[in-house]
Amino acid sequence: MKRRDFLKGAGVAATGAVAASALAAPAMASDKIKWKMVTSWPKNLPGPGVAAQMLADRITMLSGGRIEVKLYAAGELVPGRGVFDAVSEGTAELYHSVPAYWGSKSKGFLLFGSQPFGLTADEQYGWMAHGGGQALYDEMYARFNLKPFLCGNSGPQAAGWFRTEINSAEDLKGLRFRTTGLASEMCTKMGMAVQAMGGRDMFQALQTGTLDAGEFIGPWTDSALGFYQVAKNYYFPGVGEPSSAEECAMNSEAYAALPDDLKQVVAFACSSLYNDVWTEYTTNHAKALKKMVAEKGVVVRNMPEDVILAMGNAAGEVIGELRQNDDELVKRITESFLTYREAMKEYKPLADNGQMNMRLMDINYG
């Protein structure tokens, strides 16, 4: 299946919202449901922009054209950070974005996207599918007239692009830094001046010096945005976002109005995209990083151990506050996440770390 054909499938999820609206009746009458899909990304931005189009195409294709999804990039119909409200209110039928953007509505949203020192991409999906996460995800989004599905993941994100080297946790105090989600709260506790902005704005801020450092996604997307041109120090590991899930959320009425088979189409389009998107990110991150180091003068650096420890302690404070949140649902989401993380904590180092460490050994392999 071609990538562009796959992307069209994403629009299926939004169909239900339209059906319940005045626009839905004529669409249903012609045996075709037309959905508007709004996104938080520039059109075809490597990574999330491409994944959004893949989802729109896949929903359309898997539905046999019964759902026709038209994608609107950030700013074309609504601003990138306005997609949540647009779909909640029925202006569009579905959106493609990340849960990390909705913390101002409830801190509970943030755990479904990424957690500092939290779940990897496969664990994140495992929590949703097998650890009770999806029921809590549905319950939170239902408050806002939305039906959500995870539909991709960037994998481990980088710690970010820095104009100067970092030698200790003290160097981070007062640092003007772009990040989002729970990572922003962790960084704030470390004394960093956190700023929220899109990728293009982050480039301009780094270029003019109004931003000292920032993280966006990872090598594939970041190289396309040109961050290496203005900040050569690229730090790992990205403990703030060990993975970052992408989501599709549909207007609840639009989704409910779908016949059962099309509801399954939407759900399958999202779930089937998760691994395709994640593995594409991983493959292209590796290629892009190698090229930036070889051709663009990028210097890959490891965060000092004391910085990682300080970040971990700050992250622990953030999670502790979520456990004491006034919202009972936020507490339940947090406890469910922690239970799943604990279940993975002993097994994954044996299974995954053992394999990765083995590859670093001096073995004559082919």
The predicted-structure confidence for 294-311, as pLDDT tens digits, reads as follows 999 999 999 999 999 999
Report the binding-site residues for Na(+).
216
Over the chain, what is the mean pLDDT? 92
pLDDT at 31: 78
Residue labelled with tokens 């054209």: 65
Q: Is the dihedral of CA 322, 327, 330, 336 positive or negative?
A: positive
pLDDT at 356: 86
Q: Degrees (nearest 5) of the Cα angle 215, 237, 210?
A: 25
Average pLDDT over residues 56-60: 98
Which of the four pLDDT bands, split at 50, 70 and 90, describes residue 6? very low
Decide if pLDDT at 3 tops 50. Answer: no
What are the tens digits of pLDDT across the range 331-352? Answer: 999 999 999 999 999 999 999 9
Task: Give the bridge partners for 94, in sequence order.
Answer: 37, 250
Average pLDDT over residues 286-292: 98
pLDDT at 176: 98
Average pLDDT over residues 265-277: 97
The most distant pair of C-alpha atoms in the chain lies apart, rounded to whole Å, by 66
Which of the four pLDDT bands, split at 50, 70 and 90, describes residue 26? very low
Cα distances from 251 to residues 14, 37, 91, 179, 317, in angstroms, run 6, 11, 9, 28, 34
Strands (E), the chain: 33-39, 67-72, 94-97, 146-153, 160-162, 176-178, 193-195, 213-214, 233-236, 245-251, 299-302
pLDDT at 30: 55
Taking the C-alpha atoms of residue 307 and residue 138, their distance in angstroms, rounded to an integer, is 36
Nearest to 67 by CA among 134, 3, 147, 9: 9
Report the binding-site residues.
157, 178, 215-216, 241
What are the tens digits of pLDDT across the range 154-197? Answer: 999 999 999 999 999 999 999 999 999 999 999 999 999 999 99
% of the chain with per-residue pLDDT over 70: 92
Which of the four pLDDT bands, split at 50, 70 and 90, describes residue 55? very high
Report the binding-site residues for substrate.
157, 178, 215, 241
% of the chain with per-residue pLDDT over 90: 87
What are the tens digits of pLDDT across the range 92-131? Answer: 999 999 999 999 999 999 999 999 999 999 999 999 999 9
Sorted by where each starts, the structural domains of the chain and their CATH numbers stand as: 3-156+242-284 (3.40.190.170)
- Output helix, strand, coil percentages for the chain, rounded to the nearest 5: 55, 15, 30
Phi, psi for 42 (deg, rounded to 5):
-60, 150
* Structural contact between residues 92 and 40, judged by C-beta atoms closer than 8 angstroms: no
N- to C-terminal Cα distance for the chain?
32
* Structural contact between residues 175 and 212, judged by C-beta atoms closer than 8 angstroms: yes
pLDDT at 354: 85
* Structural contact between residues 155 and 121, judged by C-beta atoms closer than 8 angstroms: yes
And the tokens for 87? Answer: 């779909």
